[in-house]
Amino acid sequence: MKAWEIKEKLDGRKPGIIEVERASAVMIPLVEKEDGLYLLFEKRANGIRQGGEICFPGGRIDPGEKPERTALREMEEELGL
């Protein structure tokens, strides 16, 4: 997805706080190709919470789980990587 396509998707969306008292972790995946580094985003499926959102993989930290493990788990669950 090109930068202008991301901008187009985000235009008009109002940011807001979803839940404040929640520990979460996010992975910011970088993909290295011959011509440089690329950020890897995901587009959430329509019909689910925050459907259509373009974001990085991430989610709630389970009790006793380290943030790094959460980020890796969420990337595997959401992107299959």
Please state the pTM of the whole predicted model.
0.65
Q: Span 5-32, mean pLDDT?
A: 81
Burial grade of 74 (CB within 10 A; 0-12, 13-18, 19 or more): buried
Report all structural domains of the chain as residue ranges with CATH numbers, in order of start.
3-79 (3.90.79.10)
Q: Residue 25: what pLDDT? A: 93
Residue 65 neighbours by CB under 8 Å, 6+ apart: 73
pLDDT, mean of residues 17-26 = 78
Tens of pLDDT, residue by residue over 25-79, are 999 999 999 999 999 999 988 888 888 889 999 999 999 999 999 999 999 999 9
Going by pLDDT thresholds of 50, 70 and 90, the confidence category of residue 19 is low
What pLDDT score does 20 carry?
A: 64
DSSP code string of 25-81? EE---EEEETTEEEE--EEPPTTSTTTT-EE-SEEEPPTT--HHHHHHHHHHHHH--
